[in-house]
Structure 1
Amino acid sequence: MARLKISLSYMLLALLAGPVAADSTRQPTHELTLGNGLKVIVREDHRAPVVVSQLWYKVGSSHEPPGQTGISHALEHMMFKGSKNLGPGESSRVLRSLGAEENAFTSRDYTAYYQVLSRDQLPIALEMEAERMHTATLPEDEFIREMEVIKEERRLRVDDNPNSLAYERFLTQAHIASPYSQPVIGWMHDIERLTVDDLRAWYQTHYQPGNAVLIIVGDVTLDEVKPLVDSYFAPIPAGQIPEHKRPLDLPGGAERQVTLHLDVQLPSLLLSFNVPSLSTAENAWEVHALRLLSGVLDSGYSARLASRLERGNAIATSASASYSGFARGDTLFTLSGLPNQALDISLEQLEQAFWAEIDELKSTPPSAAELTRVKTQLIAADVYARDSIAHQATQMGQLESVGLPWQLIEEDQQALESISAQQVSDVAQRYLTRERLTRGHVLPAATAPSTEAARPEQEESN
C-alpha cells in the first residue's frame, strides 16, 4: 500500500509538472541587442505588478590573473559607492525609500546587480544602473574603508569558518589546471595589496555594454521597456569587449589527495571528479546524464545515499552528491559525507561505501522507476521555482553570462526526459574514475601529527 501511495504521488507530480512547464514556454520573451553591444532580454509575467531588473557582467573570479584574486568581488562592493550624479550609497537609499529590494553577487563566472520593485518604478532602477555602468566614481577614501569590510568578510566567512576554509583549500587541488581554484572573495594577501587604480582598470576593461546582459522579467511589455533601455543604455559608448577563454581542467592522469587539520568537530570526506559542463562537454547529453546521476545518488529521502549509507547500514551521518552543469568551464562532480562516529566508521570505510555505490551504477543502470522519480523531482522543482520572477531572471542571466543561450531553459525538460538509464551508467563509467579524483580528508586539528615528531634533523653548519 505504501509503494502504491508513493507511485501515485510521483504520477501526480508528473501530471502537474507537464502543464506548468508547457505554460512557461509560452511566456512572451523578447531579445534585442543595442548598437553598443548590450544584450537585453525581456520576459513578460503579468501575475503581479512587479518587475525584476538584473544586469549581469561577464566577469568573475575565474577571469582574474594571479595576484589580483578578489578584484571582481571588491569592484562589486565599490559599485555602490557613487557615480557621476549620485553620492556613495545614494542609489541604495533611493531604492529603499521606494520599497524596492536590491543587491549584488559575484561568482566564478559573473557579477550581477539586481532590483525587485514596482513596475512603475522600473525607469528609476534602469537610470541608476546605466549611470553606474558608465560613470562609477570609485572614490579612494571609500575604497580604503570598503577593503577593510571585505577583509572582515573573508575572516568571518572563510578564515574563521573551518568548513569553508577546508573547501577553499580543497578546490586548489581539485581544479589543478583551472582558475576555478581561486576563491571568489580572493586570497587575503591579494586583498591586502589591491589598489583603487587596480579596480578602476578592471572596471574600464570589463564593465562594457558588450560584456553585459540586461534581464527584465515581470509585469512589463517590450513596447514599454525598449524606450527606457534606448534612453538610458543606448548612449553609453561601446567599449572593447575583453577576450574570454573557458576554464579547462585536466581530464585525468593522477589521483590527488589533500589532508587538512582544522578546527572542526568531526572528520569529513570530499571526493571530487573533474567533469565537463554544458559549455565544455563533447556531447550535451552527458551533462544531463550527470545531473540525473547526482539525483539518483542524492535527491531526497529515497535516494541511494540517504537510504543506504545514512539509514541502511548507517555508515554515514550525512552523505551527499552535487553537480552543476551550467558553468563557463569544466566543473566538478562531488561526493561528500561524515562517517558515523558512533559506529567508529573511518573515512576510508566511508569512501569504500561511496565507491560501492559508484561501481554498482557503472555495472547496473538505475531502474526505469528510479530514473522516472529523479526526472520528475528535477523537473517539478524547476517548474515550481519559476513562480518567482527573480528565479526566471536568474536562470536566463546565468546561462547568458557563461556563454549559453537562455532558450535552454525551455528545452531543459525535454533534455532530461530524453536521457536513458544506460546513459546514466555510461557517464559514471567515463567520469567517476580514480584518475579524475581529488580526495579530501578534513580532520580535527587535535589529530594532527606532532610537529616535533615530524621535524627533520637539521644539518650542522660549518
Structure 2
Amino acid sequence: MKTNSHFAHYALILLGLTLAGSHSVQANPHEYLLDNGLKLIVKEDHRSPVVIHHIWYKVGSMDETNGTTGVAHALEHMMFKGTAEVPPGEFSRRIAAVGGRENAFTSRDYTAYYQQLHQRHLPMAMALESDRMSHLLLTEEEFSKEIQVVMEERRLRTDDQPRSLLYEKMIATAFQTHPYRRPVIGWMNDLEHMQVSDNQEWYNRWYAPNNAVLVVVGDVDPENVLALTKQHYGKANARPLPGIAERKPQAEPPQVGIKRLRVKAPAKLPYLLMGYKAPTLSDPQNEWEPYALEILAGVLDGHASARLNRALVREARIAISVGAGYSAIARGPGMFYFDGTPSEDKTIDELEQSIRAEISQIVESGITAAELARVKAQVVAAHVYQLDSMFSQAMQIGRLESAGLSHRDADTILKGLQAVQAKQVQEVAKKYLIDDFLTVATLDPQPLTGATSTRPDTTQLRH
C-alpha cells in the first residue's frame, strides 16, 4: 500500500464524511465507551457484506525520546510476531485464509492496525486483535530478525530515496525542539542499538484499551458489534498512562529567521522543498485560520487550473512539476509546504523566486471568487466520493480521534471550510507565509548509483 505524503491535499481527504452530531445510539456513527476505557465507534454501511476493523493507539513517534527513535514503528512490526495462542505469522495467515486484507501503519501521532474482510469474520478479527493487545510475546529471537527488516526499510525508503532524505533533513532543521523533528522510521544509529526491552517497555506503557479507539465500519449491527467488543476487548485491563508531567507538549520556540540547507544525494534532477510553520486545528467550532490555509493550498495546488501548475508549469515553464500542501489535522505543529523540480534550463533559485512571486501576488491581491468557489466545490465533491469507500470512512474517524479531535467534528470542519472568505485566505497567506517561519531545503543531485526518487513519505507501513 502506498504511504501518505505531506504533499497530498488533506482537505479533500479528511473532510469527505459528514457525521451526525448526536451522541444517542440512534446516531450513525454510534459511539460507546467500555468500562476499561476503550472507545468504540461503529459506522453502518450496508451496501456490501464487508467490514473494516481498525484499532488506533494514541501514540506515535512524537512520544519517543532520543536514543529510542523508531520504537513505535519497530513495535508495529513486532505486533505480528505472535502470542501464546497465535504463533508468529499465524495472524496474517488466518486473515488471508478467509479472503481478508490486513496491515498496519505508524505516524507521528498514532499507530493503527486494520483488517478488511467479510462481515461474518468480524469475530475472528476481534479475537486476534484483542489477543495481541494484551498478550503479545516479544522474544529476542524474533526481534533480532525483525529489526534487520526495519533497518532495510529505512535504507530503501529514506537513505536511498533522495527526496525522502531531503524531507527528513528539512524537518530535523525546521523543528528545533519539538519531537516532530525525529523521523517516524527512527535514526539508523538508534535502530542499530535498539533492544527488545525497548519494545516491551513501549508496549507496556502505551498498548492499553484506555489509550485506544476501535473503529468498525461496514455491514454490521451496532449492538452486535458492541456485544462482540465487550466479549473480546472487554477482557483487557486498563493501565495507568503517562501523565501530563511525562507527556509534555514540548512547544516549539519561535523561529527567528529563514533556515536553509542543501543535501547532496544521488539523483537525476534537483529538487526544492519549502516549509512554512503554520497552526493546526484544535478548536473546530471557533477557529478559522486552519480552514483558510486548507483553501489556500487548494487555490495553489490540487487541480490542473490551480495557480502553481498553470503559472509555473504550463505558462512560464519554470518547473517540470510544482505543488503545495497543508494538513490541519495533527497533534503537533503544522507546516505549509511547497515543492518542485525546475525545468532543464532553470535553476532552483529561479523556481524558489517564482513560488515566492505567486505567494506575494496572493498577499497583495488576494484570490478570485472563481478560485474560492472551485476549491469549495472540490471539498463538497470529496465529501460525496469518500462515502464510496468504507476504508476511507474508517480512516477519517480514526485520524480525527487520534489527533485529539472527535469524529463528530467532521461536519463542523466541512462547514468551516465552506464558510471561508476570500479575504481570510489572503490574511493567512500574509500572516504565515513569511521568512521568519520558513525552512528551505534543496537537493543537490550527485551522480546516480542506482537510487530512485519518490515523494517523501511521512508514514511507514509494515509491508
The answer to whether the Cα contact below 8 Å between 2:101 and 2:115 also exists between their aligned partners in 1 is yes
Per the alignment, residue 334 of structure 1 pairs with: 337
Q: Kindly state the Cα deviation for residue 250 of structure 1 after the two structures are TM-superposed.
A: 3.4
Higher helix share: 1
| C-alpha contact (below 8 Å) 2:284/2:413 kept by paired residues | no
Query: Which residue number corresponds to residue 230 of structure 1?
Result: 230
CA distance in 1, matches of 2:302, 2:153: 32
Q: 1:205: Cα distance to partner? A: 0.0
CA deviation map 1:90-123 (0-9, x unaligned)? 1111111111110000011110000001111101
Query: Which amino acid in structure 2 is aligned with residue 445 of structure 1?
Result: Q
Deviates more, 1:182-191 or 1:346-355: 346-355
1:270 matched to which residue of 2?
273
Q: Work out the CA distance in 2 between the residues paired with 1:306 and 1:364.
A: 19
Deviates more, 1:249-258 or 1:365-374: 249-258
Q: Percent identity?
A: 44
CA-CA distance at 1:23 after TM superposition: 9.3
C-alpha displacement at 1:282, in angstroms?
A: 11
CA-CA distance at 1:84 after TM superposition: 2.5
Q: Structure 2: which amino acid aligns with 1:270? A: L
Aligned to 2:41: 41
Runs of 5+ unmatched residues, structure 2:
1-15, 449-463
Q: Runs of 4 or more off by more than 4 Å in structure 1?
A: 20-27, 280-283
Partner SS state of residue 69, structure 1: coil
**Relative contact order (alpha carbons < 8 A, sep ≥ 6): 1 or 2 greater?**
2
Please name the residue that 2:255 is paired with. 252
Partner of 1:441: 442
Which ranges of structure 1 fall in alignment gaps of 5 or more residues?
Answer: 1-19, 448-462
Contact kept in structure 1, 2:284 and 2:412, CA below 8 Å: no
Q: Following TM superposition, by how much is the alpha carbon of 1:176 offset from its aligned partner in structure 2, in angstroms?
A: 2.3
1:306 aligns with 2:306: no
State the match for 1:8 in structure 2.
none
Q: Indicate if the aligned counterparts of 1:27 and 1:43 stay in contact, CA closer than 8 A.
A: no
CA 1:227/1:297 → structure 2, altered by over 3 Å: closer, same or farther?
A: same
The equivalent of 1:376 in structure 2 is 377
CA offsets 1:53-77 (integer angstroms, 9 cap, x no match)? 0000011111100010000000000
Whole-Å separation in 2 of the counterparts to 1:252 and 1:372? 34
Aligned residues of 2:19 and 2:29 also touching (Cα < 8 A): no
- Say if 2:220 is the partner of 1:220: yes
Letter in 1 for 2:289: E
How far the C-alpha of 1:419 sits from its partner, in A, is 0.3
Q: CA deviation at 1:246?
A: 3.9
Mean Cα deviation higher: 169-178 or 225-234: 169-178
1:284 is paired with a residue of what secondary structure?
A: coil
CA deviation profile, 1:232-272 (whole Å, cap 9, x unmatched): 11121110122444453334312100111111111111110
Q: Which residue of 2 aligns with 1:353?
A: 354
Kindly indicate whether the alpha-carbon contact (under 8 Å) linking 1:84 and 1:131 is maintained by their aligned counterparts in 2: no
- Alpha-carbon separation, structure 1, partners of 2:372 and 2:248: 35
Kindly indicate whether the alpha-carbon contact (under 8 Å) linking 2:298 and 2:306 is maintained by their aligned counterparts in 1.
Answer: yes
Give the corresponding residue for 1:402: 403
Which stretch has the larger CA shift, 154-163 or 118-127?
154-163
The residue aligned with 1:52 is 52
Please state how far the C-alpha of 1:27 moved relative to its aligned partner.
Answer: 7.1
TM-score by structure 2 length?
0.89
CA distance in 2, matches of 1:245, 1:397: 23
Q: Which has the larger radius of gyration?
A: 1
CA shift digits 1:388-437 (9 cap, x unpaired):
11100110101111111111222232111100000000100110000000
- Contact 1:260–1:443 (Cα < 8 Å) also in 2: yes
Give, in whole Å, the separation in 1 of the partners of 2:285 and 2:276.
Answer: 17
Q: CA RMSD in A?
A: 1.9
Q: Which residue of 2 aligns with 1:110?
A: 110
Provide, for residues 355-394 of structure 1, a one-character-per-residue CA deviation record: whole Å limited to 9, x for no partner: 1111111122211111010111122124202211110011
